Structure 1
């Protein structure tokens, strides 16, 4: 009943909001699920991209800060966002990245799966993986990115750590993950309760310098909690381990609890409910600026300061 099935969302930091919006909606073909603002900085957008309804396991979110300095990949952080793509679609993405002048590496293989690595306009490292087992999630499609090539949602996320053991212990003993595969310094953990978005890769990089979370970096990763009861169950387990866990915070589209796992990465427990249709019908997702209730009275001032997307 309380098994974690995988990732809920991944949140990253970008620079220019319009550049980020154009890349993920047009080049990557994701749905713009929600246009809102940062709960702690209402003059900054918070963008959500995903499938048709923003299903947990497909949601990539960004805080676009215009003048943010560039981050630096290293230890104590999430360093790669992995998407699942259909078999036979690698060539499509290679040609698309070439046309769009996107930095990418030649396709390679990891744990028996072909993948393509690219860097988004702010330096975020993203991987497109053809999974061993076909991913049958229904994708969002556009005129430029059809069903035969579209991303299906998350495949994995990679954490780069000084020492993988404390994080691995948390994933296994608290979150129910199991070690699935291991090659040199990369360890892949899987949640047996989930079919998709259920891999976490831990890369051990002893002696590597500590990363810096800023532009082009992952801010935090969130795990799925089906409801408040499940979330409180895991919150108690984490507290019992002596971890500093926040109270539940209402993020309007889900409720959140945050903590830093032993390797230093910010983790979140996010509820599946109420979802993104709580304030917009499914057909209109992402078409309106939706403000947290506490900022609604400041709408005119906030709109003036936000960069226009079209």
Structure 2
């Protein structure tokens, strides 16, 4: 995986592509919190002149220095989107967005606000997409936002969990031709998990040399697949774009060649979710005890300061 690096304003720093690991290392430098002078109460009471104040040791800034309101975060997101979209002009691009992750800071992605083949990146009214831009929103089963699903079997058989790209029935009341659903094969770690597995009561085996004999699945991990919704919010049908083809491309990105099993998200969104661990502010080992005492005296917003989990990749 290679990426074209951009700066904080959304502009390219170089004209070349860089490997994904190099991109992650660059994020670490970008996310460093600068040290600021925060003299203690004792220091402020004893220091009187500017020369003495200049020698106050610099300390790492506390999380409250970087806390932002939701309005400020949304404005920052809007500025980034506007600059990023401008930087993509002239290059065929599909902009993928994870619904549960993005809509809090980009409210226009919500179902009640989006408009077909338009984009809104700030306070201005929605505008048409640039000729080379497509907008696709991905929604996962997190928060039960997509329904449970199964494949209908023939009479007398067991309902299954088929894989593929699915489209709403043409007779559906709210069918728009832009909503698709992605399902993937069972992961290798759940190879022995049966569709009709039961951890409470025995069930008869349906195949194999022990067909018909009772078994129970208390020791076998259950496979619980999620239904991924792919919404092609913006494209150019008049220029030959096919929403189904775009959705199929996103579906295929869940089955990346470098991974044995299918991903919960398309590969670009999967890599982006891993990259956030390199930009989340972390707490130095020596600061944990002091912060524990501080947190016992007053609450601390976890959304603005959280130690990055280790080994989550």
* TM-score, reference length from structure 1: 0.25
Q: Compare relative contact order (CA 8 Å, sep 6+) and give the higher one, 1 or 2.
A: 1
More strand per residue: 1 or 2? 1
* TM-score, reference length from structure 2: 0.25
